[in-house]
Structure 1
Amino acid sequence: MDPLTSAGWTASPAADESRWFAVEEPSAPAGVRRGITAFAERLGFAGERLGQVQLAATEAATNLAKHAVRGEILVRVVRDGNAASLEIVCIDHGPGIADVPRSRLGGYSTTGTLGLGLGSIERLADRSGLHSLPRAGTTLYARFRQPGADPRLPLDRPYAGLTRPIDGERECGDAYAVIAAGGAVYAMLCDGLGHGPLAARAAQEAVQVMRETRPPARPADVLGRIHERLHATRGGAVAVAAVSPEDGRVRYAGVGNVSGWIVHRDARTGMISIPGIAGSHARVREQVYDLPPGAAVVLHSDGLTDRWDPAARPGLSGRDPLLIAATLLRDAGSRHDDRSVLAVTTAERG
C-alpha cells in the first residue's frame, strides 16, 4: 500500500478531539477561539500559524453570530493514519448567502464586523469549501495541515464523515472508519445501540475491526467479523461498503437501521440493509449495485431521516464530501438521537 496515497484508516474523532459549539450569541466566538486553540496547540500549532487559525475560527464564528439562524461550529482533529489536520465546520439554517463570490472578497462586510470576508478564511486555510442556498443556509469548512507534516500527503480525500452526539451527551454512540486503497474506498458506519458511553464502546469496537482489516476485503466478511466482535457489547446497526469507481460497482452489506444510498445527479438509489442487530442476531448478505459515473455513496445512521431529496440541494452534487456530509447532517438530522453521516465521492473536483 503506497503510504503517500493511502496512509491509513481515517475514523471519527475521539470525544476529546471533537467539540460542537452553538453560535447564536455575541459571546460565542470567544468560546470557539478557546476551543480551537486547545486543539491547535495539541497538534503543534504556534506563533503566526496559530494566530491565523485563531483568526479564521473567530471570523467564522463572528459571521454566524451576526448573520445566521441556529449557527453551529464543529472544531475537531482529523487523523489519517499517522497524519493529522485541524478542521472547523460551520453549519447554519439561513438566511443563506445571496452573493457568494462577493462574500469571498477581503474587506467585504455588511454589519461592521472585522470585514475579513469568507475569502480571508479560505486564504488562511490549507483547504476550504462553501455551499450556500438562499433561505436554506450555508455550510463551510476550513482545514489546516498539522505543522511539520509531510507536504506530499494529500489534504483532499474522496470521503468525509461527521458525528454529533445526542443533546446532553459528550460521547457519540455513532462512529465511522474509511480508507482509500487499491482503487476502492472501504467505508463503515456503526450506530451503537442507544446512546452514551456503552453505545460509543460498541461503535468503537466496530472501528477497531476496520483498523485491523487489510484491503481488499469483501464487505460481508468485514461485517461478519464486526458481528462477532460486538457480542461483548450492546451491539449496533452497521453498514460496510466497498466503492469501486473504476469498476462502476458498490459492494454493500448492512444490518439494522443504518441507511446506504447511491446519489447520482438529482436522484438516489437505496441499498438494502437486513433487519437485525450486529453482535446479537444478524444475517449477513452482500449486494452489488451499479455506480454511475460521478455518483456519491452516503451512509448515515437513523439520527438522520431518510426523507431528504438531492434535487432540493442544487450545486451540491460533485462537491467536497465534507460539504455533502455537513449539509445532510443539517437538513436531515434529528436533535433526539446520535447522528452520523459518511460521504464517499467519485466525481473529479476542481
Structure 2
Amino acid sequence: MDNTFSSYKIEDRSLIPFIKREIHNLALKSGFTAHRAAETDIIVAELTSNLIKYANGGEFLYRSRELHGHQEIEIYCLDNGKGIDNVTKIMHDGYSTSNTLGHGLGAIKRLSNDFQIYSLRDWGTVQYVKICAAPDFIAPVTDDSIFSVVSVNYPGEKVCGDGYYIKHTSKGFQIFVGDGLGHGEHAHEAVQLAIQAFKRATAEDAALILKDIHEAVKRSRGLVASIAVVDYKSQTWNICGIGNINTRIYRGLENKTYTPYNGIIGLNIPRTMKSTVVPFLKHQIIVMHSDGLRTRWNLNDMMGIIKQNSGVIAASLFKENIRGTDDATILVGKII
C-alpha cells in the first residue's frame, strides 16, 4: 500500500465539495460509522472554509491508514496567510475575528482525536488533525521516539517513487529513507525492492546494510537512500547514505548535516564506505528527506517549532520547502 498523502491546492471554494466527498467516502471505506463520517465532514468543512476565509487558500493533505489496530484519517492544512497571534485564545468557543459564532476550531478540537496548530505572524499556519473511527481512541506511546512522515506523489502520479521504513530491533531501531530514480511505477518498484531488502537485512552498520540493498536492487532502475541506525546500549547513531537524501540532527540550537556518498544504489556505489557514528541523546530531532524538498532550511528560523510534535515539524518544513517537481518525503523523529 502506498502510504502517501493526497494533496490538493485550494484556491477557491469550487474544490471543497469534491474534497469533502472524497474524505467522506474514505471514512466509510475505513470502517467509520455514518455518524463518525458525518463528524469528519464537519471537520473538513471547517478546515477548508477557513483556508479560503482567512488565508486566501492553501494546501490540503490527507490519507487513511491503520495504526495500532485502529483506522484513522490524518489531515494537514497548510497556508501562507497572516498567521494567528494567539492560538490558545482562538480555540475557545465564541472567539471570532470575522463576525461569526466562533465555534469552528473548537468544533474541530472536540470532534477529532488529535488537533495541533502551529502559526507565526506573516508566515502562515499548519494545522494537523487525526480522526479515528473510535472517537475516544488514544494511541499508545510505545517507543522512545515519535516519528512522523509527510510523503506526497509527483503531481499526476498514482504511486510514489520515494519510500521509508522504520525497523525495530533487539538493540534499538533503524530508519530507511529512499528515492527511486525519476518518478512513477519504475521508481516506486526500485524503492519498494530496497525496503524489502532493508527489512531482511541483519547487519547493524548502516554502510553494510546499504551494500546489501545494492545487491538486491541491481535489476531495478536504482535509487538513492540513507540509513540511520540507533543502538540503545552504546547510545549512538550510525548513519550512512548514498545520493541526495538529506539527513540532519538537531539538539537545541545545534545541528549537523550528514553528507552522503556519491552514487546510485543498484548501479554504482563506492567500494569503501564508512558510517558516521554520533551520540544518541535525549531531545534530539532527526530530519531525513528526499530531494523533492529544498535543503536550505533551518528549524531555528521558525520560533518555537522544536516544541511542536514531529508531524507539525515535518509539515512546516514541507510547507516552506516543497519543490513540486518530484515526489517528496520528509521524516521527522523526536527523541524523548
Task: Identify whether the pair has TM-score above 0.5, normalized to the shorter chain.
Answer: yes
Rounded to whole Å, the distance in 2 between the matches of 1:128 and 1:217 is 37
User: Greater shift after overlay, 63-72 or 304-313?
Assistant: 63-72
Supply the distance in 2 between the matched residues of 1:143 and 1:55 (Cα, whole angstroms): 13
**1:23-102 correspondence runs (5 A):** 23-80=10-67, 83-102=70-89
Tell me how far 1:262 sits from its aligned partner: 0.3
Q: 1:270 aligns with which of 246, 253, 257?
A: 257
Q: Check conservation: 1:299, 1:342, Cα contact below 8 A.
A: yes
Give yes or no for the alignment of 1:145 onto 2:113.
no
Aligned-pair RMSD on alpha carbons? 2.7
Cα distance in 2, alignment partners of residues 60 and 90 from structure 1: 7
Question: 2: CA distance between counterparts of 1:176 and 1:165?
Answer: 13
For 1:293, give the aligned amino acid: K
The aligned counterpart of 2:193 is 205
Query: Which residue of the partner structure matches residue 149 of structure 2?
Result: 161
State whether residues 322 and 343 of structure 1, in contact with CA within 8 Å, keep that contact through their aligned partners in structure 2: yes
For 2:101 and 2:11, the matched residues in 1 are separated by: 18
Unaligned runs of 5+ in 2: none
Moved more, 292-301 or 69-78: 69-78
How many angstroms does 1:210 deviate by? 3.7
Alpha carbons of structure 1 residues 330 and 152: separation in structure 2 relative to 1, 3 Å: closer
Letter in 2 for 1:89: Y
Q: Determine which structure has more spread, i.e. the larger CA radius of gyration.
A: 2
- Residue of structure 1 in register with 2:225 after alignment: 238
In structure 2, distance between residues paired with 1:315 and 1:20 = 26
Give the drift of 1:69.
Answer: 4.5
CA distance in 1, matches of 2:282, 2:161: 33
Identity of aligned residues (%): 28
Q: Is the 8 A contact 1:245 1:346 kept in 2?
A: no
Cα 1:64–1:179 change in 2 (3 A) is farther
Q: CA deviation at 1:192?
A: 0.8
- Measured against aligned partners, the alpha-carbon deviations of 1:89-131 in whole angstroms (never above 9, x if no partner) come to 1111222112211221224333356743323212211122211
Return the letter of the residue paired with 2:186.
Answer: L
CA 1:44–1:23 in 2, change beyond 3 Å: closer, same or farther? same
Please state if 1:305 is matched with 2:294: yes
2:329 maps to 1:340: yes
Whole-Å separation in 2 of the counterparts to 1:35 and 1:185: 36
Work out the CA distance in 2 between the residues paired with 1:108 and 1:245: 47
Residue range with higher mean Cα deviation, 86-95 or 204-213: 204-213
Q: 2:304 aligns with which of 306, 315, 318?
A: 315
Output the amino acid matched with 1:166: Y
Are residues 37 and 137 of structure 1, via their aligned partners in 2, closer, same or farther at CA, if it must alter by over 3 Å?
A: same
Name the SS for the 1:108 alignment partner.
Answer: coil
**Contact in 2 for aligned 1:272/1:287 (Cα 8 Å):** no
Task: Summarize the Cα distance change of 1:180–1:63 in structure 2 as closer, same or farther, 3 Å threshold.
Answer: farther
Deviation at 1:175, TM superposition (A): 1.5
Unaligned stretches of 5+ residues in structure 1: 1-12
Select between 178-187 and 278-287 the one with higher mean Cα deviation.
178-187
Does residue 187 of structure 1 match 2:175?
A: yes
Cα gap change, 1:323 to 1:152, in 2 (>3 Å): closer
**Aligned in 2, Cα 1:257/1:244: closer, same or farther, shift over 3 Å?**
same
SS in 1 for 2:17: helix
SS in 2 for 1:141: strand
Residue 334 of structure 1 and its aligned partner are, at CA, apart by 0.7
Cα 1:18–1:317 change in 2 (3 A) is closer
- Residue of structure 1 equivalent to 2:285: 296
Distance 2:279 2:334 in 1: 14
In structure 2, distance between residues paired with 1:149 and 1:222: 41
> Does the residue aligned with 1:231 lie in a helix, a strand or coil?
coil
Are residues 1:261 and 2:238 paired?
no
SS of the residue corresponding to residue 186 of structure 1 reads: strand
**Pair 1:193–1:81, CA change in 2 (3 A):** farther
The two structures have a TM-score, normalised by structure 1, of 0.86
Which of 119, 126, 129 lines up with 2:106 in the alignment? 119
DSSP 3-state at the match of 1:53? helix
Q: For residues 27-75 of structure 1, give each alpha carbon's deviation from its aligned partner in whole angstroms, at most 9, with x where no partner exists.
A: 3322221121122112100122221112112211111121125511111
TM-score by length of 2: 0.89
Work out the CA distance in 2 between the residues paired with 1:122 and 1:49.
14
Paired letter, 1:47: A
Q: Secondary structure of 1:277's match?
A: coil
Checking the alignment, whether the CA contact within 8 Å between 1:227 and 1:278 is kept in structure 2 is yes
For 2:6, the aligned partner's letter is R
Letter in 2 for 1:164: V
- Are the aligned partners of 1:77 and 1:87 in contact in 2 as well (CA < 8 Å)? yes
